[in-house]
Structure 1
Amino acid sequence: MANDHRGTALKNQLRQRLEAAGHDIHDVGTHSAESVDYPESTAQAARAVSEGKADRAIVICGSGLGVSYTANRFQGVRAALCHDTETAEMSRRHNDSNVLALAADRLDLDDAWSIVKAWLSTPFDGGRHERRIRAIDSLTRVESAARRAGPRLVEVDPEIASIVRREAKRQALQLELIASENFVSDAVMEATASVLTNKYAEGYPGRRYYGGCDIVDEAETLAIERAKALFGADHANVQPHAGSQANEAVYRAVCEVGDTVLAMNLDHGGHLTHGSPVNFSGKLYNIVPYGVREDTEMIDYDEVRRLALEHRPRMIQCGTTAYSRSLDFDAFRSIADEVDAVLFADIAHIAGLVVSGLHPTPVGRAHIVTTTTHKTLRGPRGGLILCDHEWSKKINSAVFPGGQGGPLMHVIAAKAVAFREAASPAFKAYCQQILDNARTLAAALGEKGHKIVSGGTDTHLFLLSLVDRDTTGKAAQLALDGAGITTNKNMVPFDPRKPMVTSGLRIGTPAVTTRGMCESEMQEIAGFIARVLEHPSDIGQLDAIKTEVATLCRRFPLYPDRWDDSD
């Protein structure tokens, strides 16, 4: 049984009578008259029927309409809104209904009980009606608008199905503050889970090594053209599986092994592929790192120029993964031109802000630009390379056949969807809210006595420094995990601690902004974080905060049809 606030009283009365009649009832709520949205509880009941965990379900709201609409979204569910015993009996005899929807505002207890009894006691006639039921069920064998070719995941592999649902629940009930994570739209997810995953398509549109690529060529061409239009670029390669593969392709296209590359120090906010000694970039190329000033904790462009003049690099990389200030691409290009270097900009973190006009663009300044397609772009996990015409052939060859074989056509289609979404006015408003939220959250934590690296943020993220505190980044991350707040430990500039321990936390706002949270929620979240960091070992305090976090998250539902409280 499931209901919204207007159906609570009737549900409670019917439940008593059903239990007295010997029925086993699982009541998923709600259990009070406080206003709630009906889809979440209705989905739990309908899913139980869909997955064979329940034989029947009764769902109740004021009109009965909303709960019936919701229930009928689930495969194998045949929900009937009944106002009298005749329609209840007919829904069973001819339609084999397995979910009964009731209108609490139109029925008194006796009428509702008569309907329930008639519905439960009436058998399905079968016969000619079976053919019609099969036709109905064939139309509902669709989940996320993708037709299934066989048994559902829960039937084939219940262990993985459980993991997927539990992860959906974790995402829904915890605060996601990892700067590199976001929540894709249902449209992006639908493309990612489409039949395009079956198609092998080595090569590029119109020049494939496999047959049957005409249709997937259309998808990749759409992705390419949308990326070029979105960023204002001459050329786009949408095939890199990830940002690291995109960056690796740039190194191969521009440099020979052993060439000198000037790149952002990982400890100061760079990425593994910007020259870390444990990464291919640090192993194959002569990396000269630059960083931030110790007094301002911002990039020292004078140092960048001095190092460029001293080492005459083949390539200069600009772009960060844990740096909260705007990048001066004009300054980088001026330095690159002075030493005849190729300028390569990695905007994996800020791409959404760039296409929204909320951060300066490197396109037209850098010779080559890479980005991931998730993070602030809010697309699928993947990579993208943009460049001038003069670099297009080398970049394409470096991706295929230089580094990858067959592209992931389902992901490329999802990239195209994300690029279309990012071209909308709503996306710019979303990115503006990301910035407003990041600034509000950083300022609120600063007011509570926490040190913000560089004093604030111009982007979607900031670093919280714990150098002068007893706790470490690792300990703080674990404590926040215990309170339902997901962040990541991170090195801060001139960090005295080891990389697996660190003295900082990286905090970002793209994911919570996707959920619809605004400045007032950032104030609330700052309070949660401050309380955790004040008592990181107090399990009782962490549990209490986790409950408050879940309550906040329920106000901003996330993928409600992909999990329920029983997961």
Structure 2
Amino acid sequence: MPVTTPAAPSSAPGTTLPQDFGALLREDPEIAAVLLGELNRQSDTLQLIAAENFTSPAVLAALGSPLANKYAEGYPDARYHGGCEHADAAERIARRRATALFGAEHANVQPHSGSSAVLAAYAALLRPGDTVLAMGLPYGGHLTHGSPANFSGRWFEFVGYGVDPESGLIDYAQVRALARRHRPKAIVSGSIAYPRHPDHEVFREIADEVGAYLIADAAHPMGLIAGGAAPNPVPYADVVCATTHKVLRGPRGGMLLCGAELAERIDRAVFPFTQGGAQMHTVAAKAVAFGEAAAPAFAAYAHRVVAHARALAAGLEAEGFEITTGGTDTHLIVADPAPLGVDGRTARDRLAAAGLVLDVCALPHDDARGIRFGTAAVTTQGLDEADMARLAVLFGAAVRGSGENVRAEVRELARAHPPYPGHGVPGGVAGGGPSTGRA
């Protein structure tokens, strides 16, 4: 892989990357080639994986900070190592910002991932063998919602609820009936491929009726919730599990929100039960992201993400894709490419060859795979609703087999909206100017 040295940083404030690629090129050119290759890939293609986004340079700076060197087992004022005064300050700031942003009484910002957060929630509230009611994997449930390949499916007895076969929407009558029949210890709301908002109030009513805890897995919509573009589960759920990347645009990691009465149980479930030392550079980066998400510009961004998803869904339907639930309320779209004559994996591979990067997902009531689109990253880059209509046409053309022609147009569009202006692919990224999508 050829090493491409980044162009000179743009003079626009907030658009430069903090990493010293020059030093990395000198010290370890092999890894430098990998990192620069990835930067170029992100700058030369369009990222529509629903779980991905571009962090700000400030978040990247925190990730590459000296806090990466600090071991900080425990919590502020109760560490097992000395020299944690600045680690304590970073974690306090992150917790304070998270609770204010989401209206929670308590936040744990140490989980290394969304799955780690869910594991801790289960550990705090459940015992092996307990019954849990969650969205079934074929309908959009996550691995931690009972997959036999995951700890959840091995340690707990999961019962899966589904969706109405006609509308594709959650069948709350079925959820209630299953809850009454199985009397679960916990009910999990949330998914990775359901493009509508769950009714948190109905889930709370069902949980109260059968004496179950309500765990909201809000990994995907958490950024929309922060921006006021999705309903907040915090007032209804006993515990909210989330990631800090995706629409929230922070570092890859997880967090937990709960009331004061469960705070100690949640904290002990994270440390010492499921994790050791926190990644303090990531905690600091989470604090930065929470601060950014509290700004008015982020609310405007979150609403644009949803508007773009709706525009893209309409365009995809016009191109012949079958859109589950008939549209979306969120940042993600689930589509069946079968009407275009291909399955999900073939569609994904053809789109990837054209520079359009996304993933496959399960389709309700079908053994086939569909494709999942997300608009968070392209919105961060500054694409608009007109671009969504253009993208829908490109998706249709690429899936039908015109990938070579589409690739040039995708490259042009990507280079016109670089995620980090001043860096990456020469001949388009260096002079791109600041992103209009960055809050």
Q: 2:384 aligns with which of 509, 514, 518?
A: 518
> When the two structures are superposed, what TM-score results if normalisation uses the length of structure 1?
0.72
Q: What is residue 118 of structure 1 aligned with on the other side?
A: none
- Where does 1:102-121 land on structure 2 (aligned, <5 Å)? none
**1:363 counterpart SS class:** coil
Letter in 1 for 2:211: D
Unaligned runs of 5+ in 1: 1-39, 48-65, 74-142, 536-540
Residue correspondences, number: 423
Q: What is residue 210 of structure 1 aligned with on the other side?
A: 81
Q: In structure 2, how many angstroms separate the alpha carbons of the residues matched to 1:434 and 1:558? A: 16
Q: 1:552 aligns with which of 403, 409, 413?
A: 413
Q: What is residue 250 of structure 1 aligned with on the other side?
A: 121
Q: What is residue 306 of structure 2 aligned with on the other side?
A: 435
Q: What is residue 80 of structure 1 aligned with on the other side?
A: none
Q: What is residue 485 of structure 1 aligned with on the other side?
A: 356
Contact 2:228/2:302 (<8 A) preserved? no
Q: 1:155 aligns with which of 26, 30, 35?
A: 26
Letter in 1 for 2:144: T
After TM superposition, give the deviation of residue 470 of structure 1 in Å: 2.9
Q: Which moved more, 1:399-408 or 1:469-478?
A: 469-478
Letter in 2 for 1:156: E
After TM superposition, give the deviation of residue 144 of structure 1 in Å: 4.8
- Where does 1:361-400 land on structure 2 (aligned, <5 Å)? 361-400=232-271
Q: In structure 2, how many angstroms separate the alpha carbons of the residues matched to 1:564 and 1:170? A: 8
Q: 1:189 aligns with which of 42, 49, 60?
A: 60
Q: 2:393 aligns with which of 505, 509, 527?
A: 527
Q: 1:565 aligns with which of 402, 426, 432?
A: 426
**1:288 counterpart SS class:** strand
Contact 1:165/1:562 (<8 A) preserved? no
Contact 2:133/2:184 (<8 A) preserved? yes
The reply on whether 1:329 has 2:203 as its aligned counterpart is no
**1:507 counterpart SS class:** strand
Letter in 1 for 2:250: G
Q: In structure 2, how many angstroms separate the alpha carbons of the residues matched to 1:561 and 1:160? A: 21
Q: 1:506 aligns with which of 372, 382, 387?
A: 372
Q: In structure 2, how many angstroms separate the alpha carbons of the residues matched to 1:547 and 1:166? A: 19
Contact 1:291/1:300 (<8 A) preserved? yes
Contact 1:467/1:495 (<8 A) preserved? no
Letter in 1 for 2:390: E
Q: What is residue 94 of structure 1 aligned with on the other side?
A: none
Q: In structure 2, how many angstroms separate the alpha carbons of the residues matched to 1:296 and 1:238? A: 37
Q: In structure 2, how many angstroms separate the alpha carbons of the residues matched to 1:466 and 1:549? A: 20
Q: What is residue 142 of structure 2 aligned with on the other side?
A: 271
- Which is bigger in relative contact order (C-alpha 8 A, separation at least 6)? 2
Q: What is residue 113 of structure 1 aligned with on the other side?
A: none
Identity of aligned pairs, percent? 48
Shift of the 529–145 alpha-carbon distance from structure 1 to 2, 3 Å rule, reads: closer
The reply on whether 1:224 has 2:85 as its aligned counterpart is no
**1:412 counterpart SS class:** helix
After TM superposition, give the deviation of residue 437 of structure 1 in Å: 0.3
Letter in 2 for 1:525: L
After TM superposition, give the deviation of residue 173 of structure 1 in Å: 1.2
Unaligned runs of 5+ in 2: 430-439
Deviations 1:243-274 (A, max 9, x none): 00000001110001000000111110110001
Deviations 1:486-515 (A, max 9, x none): 010111101223xxxx2x000010000000
Q: Name the larger-Rg structure.
A: 1
> When the two structures are superposed, what TM-score results if normalisation uses the length of structure 2?
0.93
After TM superposition, give the deviation of residue 557 of structure 1 in Å: 1.9
Deviations 1:366-415 (A, max 9, x none): 01001000001000000000001111111100000001000000000000
Contact 2:18/2:57 (<8 A) preserved? no
- Where does 1:36-55 land on structure 2 (aligned, <5 Å)? 44=7
After TM superposition, give the deviation of residue 560 of structure 1 in Å: 3.5
Q: What is residue 92 of structure 1 aligned with on the other side?
A: none
Deviations 1:172-199 (A, max 9, x none): 1111110000000000000001111000
The reply on whether 1:281 has 2:152 as its aligned counterpart is yes
Contact 2:139/2:163 (<8 A) preserved? yes
Contact 1:348/1:372 (<8 A) preserved? yes
Q: In structure 2, how many angstroms separate the alpha carbons of the residues matched to 1:151 and 1:401? A: 40
After TM superposition, give the deviation of residue 563 of structure 1 in Å: 2.1
Shift of the 212–144 alpha-carbon distance from structure 1 to 2, 3 Å rule, reads: farther
**1:348 counterpart SS class:** coil
